[in-house]
């Protein structure tokens, strides 16, 4: 009980900290700092930091102008109107004379305006901070820093800000905002019939999510579980078969006294270097009905006549097993490289100690080599499992998700969640359903990461080989 209380207290203190700091600065600061809360940069001008003050002022003026004038792109406003539009997602139904409001752009611009506002608030806070710092400088040193000194600081103690800003901007515009946009799409009815500018779409709450689990027609719900199951089966086999296959290959190549290690390793690295679309499309044709492999199988009597192993396979499992096998070809070289690295790093002293103790070869392998490799490569195992859940190329290039399945909701027999997501959004424009699949995929990968990350951390703390 007592503990719980302090927990809440600590949480509250943490939450309220920025506000307390804000309040303190306002009460404690000079007139200029107090002014800065209303007109950005006035504190700096008050202290004689003219250029810095002007920059802050321009930021505030620019933001205010942006919010009030609401500049339009493609007839859809940004600024304060974007906030209203974000809630309504458009009111003008289209008819023959007037086009409908573009709900999609309204949603996007709403998100963009929120992003710009957050950046403004960040600058606002930094403006007050800067003025408060000038107060402190006068109190402590009797003078403020010059603009030149401040600029120099950006390459000195505040260099990390200079370094992070471009990367952060890029990530916000090209990753963060788009992702938030797509998450929001999952809560709307934006689909093929409600294309941008043709018809409005609106917020529908959790309807899309419930459709995946309890749809009245049941179509998409009926497809979801099989696709999910195959995604997990695929990820499991693709990860573990490649992993242990790679370790075995590495043990084979790194055998003591074996000649031509470098040549063998180069052969397998070669397959990593070749772009996947080349090697996978080659594979697809090589094992196709007209390719030399089938010809060989027919001639030797293993097959009675050519058949499709991939997109047109008579049985879904034929295609699935073929994909997993081809993936061995793609993936084993990677894990071989990693395992090789681990093997070469095993301290010789460990082996010598084991030999002195009279350990047999197999025992050394079981007790030293394998645990060491597994210890070093466990993080790789986790990331490759996550990577396999979202692996797009191999499925798309080999089968495009086919063979077709009855009642498929365009999901074929080998479609993973991600290729299904791609088909739903790019080919079918069912953006809302695609977004839901994206979120569900995210939930799966984050659960896997969280669970295994904790495990691997406890693993690390053992320091077994350090």
Partner 1 sequence: MSDNTNTKTKIKFFNQTRSEKISKAGAYILLIALSIIWLYPILWILLNSLRTEFNVDGTMVGTVVSHYWPKQFGFDNFKTLFTNTYFPVWFRNTLFVAVFSCVLSTMLNLSVAYVMSKVKFRMRKPFMNIAIVMGLFPGFMSMIAIYYILKALGLTQTLTALILCYSAGAGLGFYVGKGFFDTVPQALIEAARIDGAGEARIFGSVILPISKPIIVYTALMSFTAPWMDFIFARVILGEQNTHLHTVAVGLYYMMYGQIVDTSRFTVFAAGCVCVAIPIVALFMYLQKYYIEGSTAGSVKG
Give the one residue of 60, 103, 189, 425 binding partner 1; rule: CB under 8 A.
425
Interaction between residue 11 and partner 1 (CB under 8 A): no
- Nearest CA to 133 out of 115, 111, 112, 149 is that of 149
Give, as one character, the DSSP assignment of residue 427: I
Rounded to the nearest angstrom, the gap between the alpha carbon of residue 249 and the centroid of all alpha carbons in its chain is: 31
Q: What angle do CA 165, 171, 174 make, to 5 degrees?
A: 135
295 binds partner 1, rule: CB under 8 A: yes
- 133, containing H or E segment: helix 103-141
Nearer to partner 1, 54 or 337 (CB): 337
Q: Does 94 bind partner 1 (CB under 8 A)?
A: no
Q: Does residue 229 have a cis bond before it (omega within 30 degrees)?
A: no
Tell me, rounded to whole angstroms, the distance of Cα 365 from its chain centroid: 37
Residue with tokens 């800003």: 165
Q: Based on CB atoms, which residue is closest to partner 1, 98 or 157?
A: 157
Does 291 bind partner 1 (CB under 8 A)? Our answer is yes
Binding partner 1 (rule: CB under 8 A), the pick from 142, 205, 257, 301 is 257
Three-state SS at 145: coil
The piece of 24-32, 206-214, 286-294, 406-414 that touches partner 1 (CB under 8 A) is 286-294
For residues 16-39, one letter each, b for 16 or more C-beta atoms within 10 angstroms of the residue's C-beta and e for the rest, the string is eeeeeeeeebeeebbebbbbbbee
In angstroms, rounded to a whole number, what is the distance separating the alpha carbons of residues 361 and 348? 14
Which of 170, 218, 314, 347 touches partner 1 (CB under 8 A)?
A: 170
Alpha-carbon span 227 to 422, nearest angstrom: 14
- Considering beta carbons, is residue 271 or 318 the nearer one to partner 1? 271
**Least spacing, CB of residue 386 vs partner 1, in Å:** 7
Q: Which of residues 230-249 bind partner 1 (CB under 8 A)?
A: 249
Is 452:382 a contact under the CB 8 Å cutoff?
Answer: yes
User: Which of 421, 423, 430, 432 is in the footprint of partner 1 by CB under 8 A?
Assistant: 421
- Residue 224 binds to partner 1 (criterion: CB under 8 A): no
- Which residues inside 126-165 make contact with partner 1, applying CB under 8 A? 152, 155-157, 159-160, 162-164
Can you tell me which of 60, 279, 369, 388 binds partner 1, judged by CB under 8 A? 279
Q: Nearest distance from residue 156's CB to partner 1, in Å?
A: 4
d(CA 60, CA 57): 5
Q: In the complex with partner 1, which residue's Cβ is closer, 158 or 367?
A: 158
Please give the structure tokens belonging to residue 60. 């505030």
Instruction: Based on the shown chain and the rule CB under 8 A, indicate whether residue 99 belongs to the binding site for partner 1.
Output: no
Q: How many residues bind partner 1 (CB under 8 A)?
A: 94
Structural tokens at position 61: 């003026």
CB of residue 44 to partner 1, shortest distance in Å: 22
Name the residue nearer to partner 1 (CB basis): 45 or 196.
Answer: 196
175 near partner 1, rule: CB under 8 A: yes
């Amino acid at each position: 009980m007592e503990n719980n209380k302090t927990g809440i207290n600590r949480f509250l203190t943490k939450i309220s900290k920025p506000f307390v700091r804000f309040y303190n600065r306002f009460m404690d600061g000079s007139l200029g700092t107090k002014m800065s809360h209303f007109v950005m940069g006035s504190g700096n001008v008050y202290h004689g930091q003219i250029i810095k003050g002007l920059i802050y002022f321009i930021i505030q003026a620019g933001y205010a102008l942006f919010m009030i004038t609401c500049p339009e792109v493609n007839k859809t406003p940004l600024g304060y109107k974007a906030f209203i539009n974000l809630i309504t997602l458009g009111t003008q139904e289209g008819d023959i004379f007037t086009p409908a409001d573009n709900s999609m752009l309204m949603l996007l611009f709403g998100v963009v305006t929120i992003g710009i506002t957050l950046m403004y608030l960040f600058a606002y806070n930094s403006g007050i901070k800067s003025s408060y710092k000038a107060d402190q400088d006068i109190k402590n040193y009797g003078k403020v820093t010059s603009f030149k000194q401040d600029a120099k600081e950006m390459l000195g103690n505040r260099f990390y800000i200079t370094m992070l800003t471009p990367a952060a901007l890029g990530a916000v515009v090209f990753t963060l905002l788009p992702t938030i946009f797509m998450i929001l799409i999952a809560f709307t009815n934006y689909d093929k019939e409600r294309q941008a500018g043709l018809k409005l779409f609106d917020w529908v709450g959790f309807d899309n999510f419930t459709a995946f689990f309890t749809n009245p027609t049941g179509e998409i719900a009926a497809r979801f579980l099989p696709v999910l199951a195959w995604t997990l089966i695929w990820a499991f086999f693709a990860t573990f078969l490649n992993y242990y296959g790679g370790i075995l290959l590495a043990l084979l190549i790194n055998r003591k006294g074996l000649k031509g290690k470098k040549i063998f390793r180069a052969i397998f690295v070669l397959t990593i270097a070749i772009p996947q679309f080349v090697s996978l499309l080659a594979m697809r044709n090589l094992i196709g009905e007209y390719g030399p492999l089938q010809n060989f199988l027919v001639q030797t009597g293993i097959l009675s006549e050519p058949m499709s192993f991939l997109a047109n396979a008579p049985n879904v499992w034929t295609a699935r097993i073929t994909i997993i096998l081809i993936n061995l070809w793609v993936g084993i070289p990677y894990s071989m490289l990693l395992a090789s690295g681990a093997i070469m790093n095993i301290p010789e002293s460990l082996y010598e100690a084991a030999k002195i103790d009279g350990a047999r070869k197999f025992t050394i392998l079981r007790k030293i080599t394998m645990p060491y490799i597994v210890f070093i490569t466990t993080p790789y195992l986790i990331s490759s499992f996550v990577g396999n859940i979202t692996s797009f190329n191999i499925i798309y290039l080999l089968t495009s998700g086919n063979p077709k399945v009855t009642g498929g909701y365009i999901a074929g027999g080998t479609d993973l969640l991600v290729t299904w997501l791609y088909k739903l959004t790019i080919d079918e424009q069912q953006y809302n359903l695609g977004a839901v699949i994206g979120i569900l995929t995210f939930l799966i990968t984050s659960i896997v990461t969280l669970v295994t990350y904790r495990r691997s951390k406890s693993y690390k703390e053992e320091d077994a080989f350090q």
